[in-house]
Amino acid sequence: MYGVAMARAKTATSTSDPRRVLLLKLLEEKGMLTQGQLAKLTGFSWGQLQWHLYVLEREGRVKRVVKDGVVYYVPAISQFLLE
């Protein structure tokens, strides 16, 4: 099972799935959002969000920002504005 997940991870790209495109659009429009906020806005399950955020992070499209102990996701370009 691990091998299948890794093979899938290597072939997934940030724009190959409309759900990732939606996540990018939401983050660009609304700015910093938590995984919980993204779940409410999209209706995606926790597992779906984890997978799609992982792919977006791996490709450098999304960054994690920890603020007051809370993990937020931001479009990668916004990361530079927060520092």
Tally of structural domains, the chain:
1
State which residues form the domain around 21.
Answer: 2-82
- Could you tell me the pTM of the whole model? 0.77
What is the DSSP secondary-structure string of 1-48?
-HHHHHHHHHH--TTSSHHHHHHHHHHHHH-SB-HHHHHHHH---HHH
Alpha-carbon gap, residue 59 to 71, rounded angstroms: 19
The CATH number for 22's domain is 1.10.10.10
pLDDT band, very low/low/confident/very high, at 78 (cuts 50, 70, 90) = low
Q: Is the pLDDT of residue 59 over 80?
A: yes
